[in-house]
Copies of this chain bind each other. A is one copy, B any other.
Amino acid sequence: MNNPFVRKLERGAELSAEDVALLERLSADPEPVAGGFDLIGEGDRPENVHLVMAGIACRYTILPDGGRQIMAYLVPGDLCDFHVAILGQMDHAIATLTPCQMVDLPRAVIDDLTDNHPRINRALWWSTLVDEAILRDWLVGMGRRDADAQLAHLFCELYARFETVGLAGPGPFVLPLTQEELGDTLGVSSVHINRVLTRLRREGLVVPGRGKITVPDIARLRAFADFDPSYLHLAKRTGDNGGEGRENAAPSEGDE
């Protein structure tokens, strides 16, 4: 099963066969969007919720001095603005970074999912809380890691997230991001990103290319970055607070 939306949400809750079928139906017909396209602007009150099925998008904001800060990457399986219904309006913008395949889910569909499908509701909130954990990790990176470790850490995180939805496995991992985008993510200049990448390349940890970065050996990069993925809360949980323990269910964590 190759649907990244389903694969992701299955990490957040035990879905029934009907849940899976419903999610597959909702995400069955994605539409292509060009790279660099603004999906939602700051201050908008979007009617639909956007779902990424392929490609990479991002949350970002533009500062008075013109600088851009990317605050999150949105990868296949991610909902862009699930929470806007509660907060009212966007306090940041969302744009595609690469060409994407997107699904537009009407607000009513989301309301149906949260109101009438408790396991899906739980998975959606799990996803929101993981997003928050990722933000905290980025904050730690900006505050306490130098750019080398922070960049390596970011690549490890993205690898883990792509792997979760079946889009990364053993073998080289390619990230279609420019050095300027990476700079706007870490809060450093693209010139400095270039110097960091040069160092990492000399260590054999990454292979920069035009508009892309290749990670030849994720294990070595993880060691370099001292990467601990527990903040992603990917280990599939079974049972829990609400309903009595449902044991085991092999985590299938393996990288095949």
Q: Which residues of B contact A139 (CB under 8 A)?
A: 69, 71, 135, 138-139, 142
CA distance A71 to B133 in the complex (A): 10
Q: Are A128 and B132 also in contact (CB < 8 A) when A226-B64, A233-B88 are?
A: yes
Any B CB within 8 A of the CB of A126: yes
CA distance A64 to B139 in the complex (A): 16
Q: Residues 33-58 of chain A: 1 if any B CB is under 8 Å from the residue's CB, otherwise 0? A: 00000000000000000000000000
Number of copies: 2
Q: Residues 216-256 of chain A: 1 if any B CB is under 8 Å from the residue's CB, otherwise 0? A: 00000000001000110101010011100010100000000
CA distance A107 to B240 in the complex (A): 12
CA distance A248 to B89 in the complex (A): 11
Q: Are A91 and B136 also in contact (CB < 8 A) when A63-B144, A64-B226, A129-B86 are?
A: yes
Q: Which residues of B contact A64 (CB under 8 A)?
A: 226
Q: Which residue of B lies closest to A136 (CB)?
A: B71
Q: Which of B132, B187, B233 contacts A143 (CB 8 A)?
A: B187
Since A59-B136, A71-B139, A91-B231 are in contact, a sample of 9 more A-B pairs with Cβ atoms closer than 8 Å, ordered by chain A residue number, is: A63-B145, A71-B140, A72-B136, A87-B133, A88-B240, A111-B242, A135-B139, A142-B187, A144-B187
**Residues on A facing B (Cβ under 8 Å):** 12, 59, 61, 63-65, 67, 69, 71-72, 83, 85-88, 91-92, 107, 111, 122, 125-126, 128-133, 135-136, 138-140, 142-145, 186-187, 226, 230-231, 233, 235, 237, 240-242, 246, 248
Q: Which 5 A-B pairs have the closest CB atoms?
A: A143-B187, A142-B142, A135-B135, A91-B231, A85-B241
